[in-house]
Chains A and B, each alone.
Chain A
């Protein structure tokens, strides 16, 4: 990315005595994983472009604890949650946007009982809102025009929280041809990473879940597999490689598709 990204932190806002419109929760994958960092930057690019007053916690952010909770370590989860809530409440955060459905689900549904009550949005919901409010426009003929794209629903966005349409609305606004997989929306197949599977070898079986899901996607003969989750992205990218299709099919986050269409 050529131009310099503006990424203010909450501490900077605090020092100036201001409150940003939203807090961008980057998440661990978005902060450290090389592939996910590109998604993070793409989303920041969109925020910059739409002149959204946002901030990140930076080094004050810590893992939401989602993966610990799903692994059964409620203790570690709650420790993480309570620490994060202390920071978030200290900054009087009201509104959080994140590009990770796992963070989204945990912040939205599992933090309130521990004292963290925020309005939480997935980045596709927020971008959709920006477009509807006219704050962000898809300029000129998108270079994605006519490309065949299939959308893989992340479990923690779709089934877990019933968000199915925001990502699809965005894809359609790019002028692409959206082709649905046989299993989509609430019957979408998992990419295989949830429930702490991302961090361990799968149990013995006859196939990897991400390969099965990639086969679902390949049936739609897509140019691009779009998704809205850093874990799904990794799993689908690996699946495409396993099928030796990495030269013809890209796996991209919706934020990347939108950010790139602006270039």
Chain B
């Protein structure tokens, strides 16, 4: 017996999953470069969010056309992947459609896959048309050039090819067509090949079969380099996403400690630091680079699939300002990848490269254009919070660099001096009642 195809198949699987595992480890390492944050609270709410938003696609349908098509592709993707199990067993053992032993059930199963494959194919073609022919505005913003633009199209081509291969593979499988059960779609494709000699049809079938599984493995490994990571990360991201009211910004504990000391009359301002605390660096306020952000914010960045729903609802972006919440997430991911590569190149240590997220990627003009209205947070179908990153960077600008716009400095001075953002006397605060 000839075992070469089986061995080749096994090697292919090992290589495919091995490289994927390597990149997953890198992904986790990069996410862990973020600051620790306690997300152990509200477990049941978090499970509910994940079930509703990721599993149930709850927020996708807010835009009905895109939402419906996305659900088709999502269900198709999940269900057709059951077929993968059979392909793997067949590939490793040399069996032929091992599950077809249960002929009736098998027919139903493959029939479902075939119908879904067609639906996915149609949806993906509509996606491509929306992106490239109708040119829906959110896919053509400033940040959607070069790689982000190509990436989106590559994914669509990938899916078109994979679905076509699946259908061709079934159509050219003579045994399967003879079984005449489950070939609901492929029976109409089979006649296209009917004039060919049987051996040629068999070669086409084998080629489609191999290309299909190779394609899936390439696609799996493409994820790490692509915006398409969301198919995996949407689940943890919706679980770890914000459970507090959207209006609530996090409390900076480091500041709370300082404020408490200032308010406490018993604190000795000239006291020497406690034993062993001399070398402890005081906490940095806010974020100027990715390592200052929390790991959930970094997970957010990897989860972003650049759909642009956030940007298309952002009041600043809608009125022509530079701010785009999607770009904030893309910049964060790009910088994080750069930091990750730096660590890889320097034996696990980050060597200062003279760059940072603030300034080199995200400008202050973008940061100060935000109205903190939460439209981006509301719009995100996978619970990403771009606003929290904007606020962290404003904190750095204001508290570490005193670099707020002049008018805001005036406003803050007013609050400090007279307890209101305007220069009015605190003692006049109740004058309105007699006016």
Contact = CB atoms under 8 A, between A and B. Distances in A.
A37 B432 contact: yes
Nearest to A72: B394
B323 interface: yes
A187 B62 CA distance: 10
Contacts of A75: 255, 258-259, 285, 399
Contacts of A257: none
A62 B411 contact: no
B318 A212 contact: yes
Nearest to A212: B319
Nearest to A205: B320
Contacts of A67: 411, 415, 421
A63 B372 contact: no
Contacts of A80: 415, 419
B247 A189 contact: no
Nearest to A32: B424
A113 interface: yes
Interface string B215-258: 00000000000000000000000000000111111011001101
Nearest to B392: A72
Contacts, number: 216
Nearest to B259: A78
A18 B375 CA distance: 43
A196 B411 contact: yes
B399 A162 contact: no
Interface string A23-46: 000101011110001001100100
Interface in B358-414: 365, 368-375, 377-379, 391, 393-399, 404-405, 407-408, 410-412
B374 A155 contact: yes
A160 B247 contact: yes
Contacts of B378: 159, 186-187
Q: Which of A33, A75, A114, A198 has the most CB of B within 10 A?
A: A75
A109 B397 CA distance: 24
Nearest to A67: B421
Interface string A172-201: 000000000000001101101111111111
B375 A189 contact: yes
A190 B317 CA distance: 12
B315 interface: yes
A67 B394 CA distance: 12
Q: Which of B62, B313, B315, B428 has the most CB of A within 10 A?
A: B315
Contact of A74 (B245, B285, B419, B421): B285
Given A63-B420, A80-B415, A189-B318, A105 B391 contact: no
Interface in A65-83: 65, 67-76, 78-80, 82
B321 interface: yes
Contacts of A202: 319, 321, 369
A105 B255 contact: no
B54 interface: no
A155 to B, nearest CB: 4
B53 to A, nearest CB: 14
B424 A9 contact: no
Nearest to B407: A200
Contact of A113 (B251, B316, B377, B415): B251
B316 A205 contact: yes
A161 interface: yes
A5 interface: yes
B373 A195 contact: yes
A57 to B, nearest CB: 8
Interface in A3-29: 5, 7, 9, 26, 28
A203 interface: yes
A125 interface: no
B416 interface: yes
B22 interface: no
A181 to B, nearest CB: 14
B410 to A, nearest CB: 8
Contacts of B399: 72-75
B321 to A, nearest CB: 4
A160 B246 contact: yes
Contacts of A156: 247
B307 to A, nearest CB: 16
B430 interface: yes
B407 A201 contact: yes
The 7 A-B residue pairs with the shortest CB-CB distance in the complex, in nearest-first order:
A160-B247, A72-B394, A195-B372, A206-B320, A62-B419, A190-B373, A205-B320
25 contacts: A26-B432, A32-B428, A32-B432, A44-B433, A59-B426, A59-B427, A59-B429, A68-B415, A72-B391, A74-B395, A78-B252, A79-B262, A80-B419, A155-B372, A159-B373, A160-B246, A187-B379, A189-B318, A189-B375, A199-B421, A200-B405, A202-B369, A203-B368, A203-B369, A204-B321
Interface of A: 5, 7, 9, 26, 28, 30-33, 37, 40-41, 44, 56, 58-59, 61-63, 65, 67-76, 78-80, 82, 105, 108-110, 113-114, 155-156, 159-162, 186-187, 189-190, 192-209, 212-213
Interface of B: 62, 244-249, 251-252, 255-256, 258-260, 262-263, 285-286, 313, 315-316, 318-323, 365, 368-375, 377-379, 391, 393-399, 404-405, 407-408, 410-412, 415-416, 419-422, 424, 426-433, 435
Given A28-B420, A161-B247, 20 more contacts: A62-B419, A63-B419, A67-B421, A70-B372, A72-B286, A72-B399, A73-B399, A78-B255, A82-B263, A155-B371, A160-B245, A160-B246, A189-B375, A197-B371, A199-B408, A200-B368, A200-B411, A205-B316, A207-B319, A208-B319
